[in-house]
Amino acid sequence: MPTVNSKNGNNRESHYLNYLPGLYRDDQFMGQYLNLFEDIMGPLERTVDNLEKYFDPMITPESLVPWLASWLDLKPGPGWTKKRWRELIKSAALLHRLRGTKRGLSEYLRIYTGSVPEISEYIPGMSLGEETILGVNTKIGSAGTGNHFTVTLELDKDDEIDADTVRAIIESQKPAHTVYTLQVKQH
């Protein structure tokens, strides 16, 4: 037997009746009584039914992005757009696995700057190839103690990045025994 929703006068049967013993399923008062709880709990049930969407940083409401970032101990610095910040949170597990690698550093910088950096490693005794350009990706002699690499970012003149944030990213992602040179070219 359908029940009447006191809120809007529509006949509707509470789906909560399905969870009760058969004795109560035909009770009109019980159906109306459960409709009250259904109206109250409905929004919460819909939230729980879509809970996985709140954990996806690309589609979660803007107000929840800082909450997700706090799980990863990430704090936005200068130059982070909302889109790139969401992408960083989404990529956090991959970046953690790749930490200390050329690929990991490249991906992190790509997320922040929007362009893929060129990362050249100085290897003592290396042979010079066709792609070697003295002063750009190759230096004669050592640039200090330890292994050395150069990060070259080519950006559009309109790109707004914070050089200190780029350096902080490199420092957090590079192997501890390495030194680096940062070159930023905007055109």
Biggest alpha carbon–alpha carbon distance for the chain: 89
Per-residue model confidence as pLDDT tens digits over 11-65:
678 888 988 898 888 888 888 899 999 999 999 998 888 888 889 999 999 999 9
Instruction: List, as one string, the DSSP characters of 72-116.
Output: TT----TT--HHHHHHHHHTHHHHHHTTTSHHHHHHHHHHHHSSP
Q: Residue 78 pLDDT more than 60?
A: yes
Of 33, 49, 65, the residue that ends a domain is 49
pLDDT confidence band for 86 (50 / 70 / 90): very high
Phi, psi torsion values for 171, nearest 5 degrees:
-60, -40
pLDDT confidence band for 2 (50 / 70 / 90): very low
Q: Residue 3 pLDDT more than 50?
A: no
* Residue 82 structure tokens: 């909302």
Is residue 38 assigned to a domain? yes
* Residue of 121 and 181 predicted with greater confidence: 181
Is residue 173 assigned to a domain? yes
* Residue 123 structure tokens: 């290897």
Is residue 3 assigned to a domain? no
As a whole number of Å, the end-to-end CA separation of the chain is 74
Say what percent of the chain tops pLDDT 90: 48
Is residue 66 assigned to a domain? no
Domain tally, the chain? 2
Is residue 139 assigned to a domain? yes
* Residue 132 structure tokens: 């070697």
pTM over 0.95: no
CA distance 162 to 84: 14
Is residue 169 assigned to a domain? yes
9: region left, alpha or beta (phi > 0 left; psi from -120 to 50 alpha): left
Is residue 81 assigned to a domain? no
For 34, the domain range is 15-49
Q: What is the pLDDT of residue 5?
A: 47
Is residue 151 assigned to a domain? yes
